[in-house]
Chains A and B, each alone.
Chain A
Amino acid sequence: MSIRSQSDAFDHQGPGEKAVGLTPRGAWNAFLMLLTREVLRFGRIWVQTVLPPMIMTALYFVVFGHLIGPRIGEIDGVPYIQYLVPGLILMSVITQSYANSVSSFFGAKFARHVEELLVSPMPNWLIIVGYVAGGVARGLTVGAAVTIVALLFAELSVHSVLNLFGVALMTSILFALGGLINAVYATHFDHISIVPTFVLTPLTYLGGVFYSINMLSEFWQQASLYNPILYIINGFRYAMLGISDVPIWSTYAILAVGILIAYFYLLRLFNKGIGLRG
């Protein structure tokens, strides 16, 4: 008896009957395999993926927290070094979730092993979910590593555990989806660094990682409200410190709408084969 006829991963429909490729159990196995591959991939190169954000965060704490922080004093009743913690953690989550998806998927396109997935019976939504899970795994792993570094410099407090995990998880999902969209369109290695360098980094730095928008002039306060990352960072700051420049519901609204738009847009790209199929 062949493996095929014994397997419960496949649908065994006869000719003429509507047939799917994978059973729910088969789809779960496929998801786990893709997630494991992604985790092993960034785990194998941890010196490039996990260590640099830890060192970068330590430097931020030394320079901004210890050297400049005491001159700034408190923001919204919180010592500046403690005020920095949520923004720096979430900045790592954003950049690492995005970086994992964009580099892994573009690498797979470039070396053509994305074809392993495209010829398999994995539906497009499952391929997207698998890559996003990989991005989330890296984003949250680095987020946890940066939190450990933060513990060396500042006292950590948690105002709302549910919001802490909710915002971190949804943020990593959104930016993993963003990285995947970037990778689908990219045709050269240059293309995978353009968005992080010229869009993501400026929006993150101007999104309230290092300051409260209340410190800005009226014009720049209003301008900052058009930056979606402001809502995300403030939502995470609320979860840790209980302070925020924006209401928490706006954080979830931005994240939920962003995730839905990015996911369905990406699914359309996959279904049409844009950047993937000839």
Chain B
Amino acid sequence: MSNAVEIYELEKTYEGGTRALKGIELAIEEGDFFALLGPNGAGKSTTIGILCSLVNKTAGSVQVFGHDLDRDRAWVKAQIGVVPQEFNFNQFEPVEEVVINQGGFYGMTRKAAKKRAHELLKQLGLYDKREGMARALSGGMKRRLMIARALVHDPRMLILDEPTAGVDIELRRGMWDFLTRINKQGTTIILTTHYLEEAEALCRNIAIINEGRIVEHNSMRNLLAKLSQETFVLYAREPVESLPEMPVIGSRLIDDETIEVDLNRDQELTGVFDVLRGHGIVIERMKNKTSRLEELFLRLVQDDDAATDAEERS
């Protein structure tokens, strides 16, 4: 499959000397659901800003669907829909006008833009609000409005910068379903998020960026496979006095009814349940203690920070 995005040696130094990007290399396949993760100030928004032509790059090159951003900028822009982190629509315009105007800026007639806007507003549950002022929408509705606006011209690639920040869980799930659906219909999606479980649930490939460098670029499956250890929390039906020996690398009793067990990747939970059942301990429910991705993310970023420190000291 061809690549939707190819980035070579991308650098950005802002006025004042801050080096936000230090030679990023990245390839994103067409049709992918791709996560770009990183701590605050890592360079995620700068990378996205360059892709969307909101930030001028200092060096390097960017190809989108085989077209060079510098040479065919207008064409590249027409392939992309953007949902930024902050609300950036005119709050004093009616909801449908926000979407219709954007369609117009992408060359659509008012009639075609209106038809498409109504379709999207229906899909995103905003149709009843279409004539009201955009400022009257709730935070979650405003995020959905920005998604509708980004999709009005039917882009081949959708870029979302923290799309579910401040959105409640139910709405977030609805948004995930919607994004999964349009990805299955062929739209390449690039997502930055602070919710690591969001990236884990949605994305097939991932890049982690730290201090302007890509520190990991892999498939989600390969990345998660790198985790050698996971911790599970088990909740017993009855109080537990002491823990039996179990085929795990570590176990402890947190309180009367809560047990934590650490497992290697090749160890199975069924062995744990068998031992516990043999000692009359019934487990009612369980959960993974930490987001696996979160654990990996922290480790990669900390490793990179340590390497940078060592480099600077030497």
Contact = CB atoms under 8 A, between A and B. Distances in A.
Given A25-B107, A120-B106, A113 B88 contact: yes
A32 interface: yes
B66 A278 contact: no
Given A4-B153, A115-B54, A121-B106, A14 B89 contact: no
B86 interface: yes
Contacts of A277: 53-56
Contacts of B97: 37, 40
A21 interface: yes
Interface in B46-100: 46, 49, 52-56, 65-67, 71-78, 80, 82, 84, 86-93, 97, 100
Nearest to A14: B66
Contacts of A122: 74, 105
A47 B78 CA distance: 38
A33 B53 contact: no
A112 B88 contact: yes
A21 B154 contact: no
B110 A119 contact: no
B116 interface: yes
B251 interface: no
B23 interface: no
A116 B102 contact: yes
Contacts of A29: 104, 107-110
Interface in A1-51: 2-4, 7, 9-11, 13-16, 18-23, 25-27, 29-30, 32-34, 36-37, 40, 44
Contact of B101 (A23, A37, A115): A37
A34 to B, nearest CB: 7
B83 to A, nearest CB: 11
A16 B49 CA distance: 23
B14 interface: yes
A223 interface: no
Chain B interface mostly = loop
B54 A30 contact: no
Contacts of A79: none
A123 interface: yes
Given A9-B107, A21-B75, A15 B88 contact: no
A143 B146 CA distance: 37
B156 interface: yes
A240 B126 CA distance: 53
Contacts of A25: 107
A37 B109 CA distance: 14
Interface residues of A, number: 45
Contacts, number: 142
A22 B78 contact: yes
Contact of B154 (A3, A16, A108): A3
Contacts of A22: 74, 78, 106-107
A111 interface: yes
Nearest to B105: A120
B104 A278 contact: no
A111 B90 contact: yes
Contacts of A32: 104, 110
B107 A10 contact: yes
B74 A123 contact: yes
Nearest to A118: B54
Given A2-B154, A20-B74, A119 B82 contact: yes
A23 B106 CA distance: 10
Nearest to A13: B75
Contact of A30 (B66, B76, B87, B105): B105
Interface of A: 2-4, 7, 9-11, 13-16, 18-23, 25-27, 29-30, 32-34, 36-37, 40, 44, 108, 111-113, 115-123, 273, 277-278
Interface of B: 2, 14, 46, 49, 52-56, 65-67, 71-78, 80, 82, 84, 86-93, 97, 100-110, 112-113, 116, 149, 153-156
Task: Please name the 10 residue pairs, one residue from A and one from B, whose CB atoms are nearest each other, closest first.
Answer: A33-B104, A15-B66, A26-B107, A21-B74, A9-B107, A19-B75, A120-B105, A112-B88, A3-B154, A121-B74
25 contacts: A3-B154, A7-B107, A11-B75, A13-B67, A21-B74, A21-B76, A21-B77, A23-B107, A26-B107, A29-B104, A29-B107, A29-B110, A30-B104, A32-B110, A33-B100, A34-B104, A36-B110, A112-B88, A113-B89, A116-B88, A119-B52, A119-B82, A121-B78, A121-B107, A123-B74
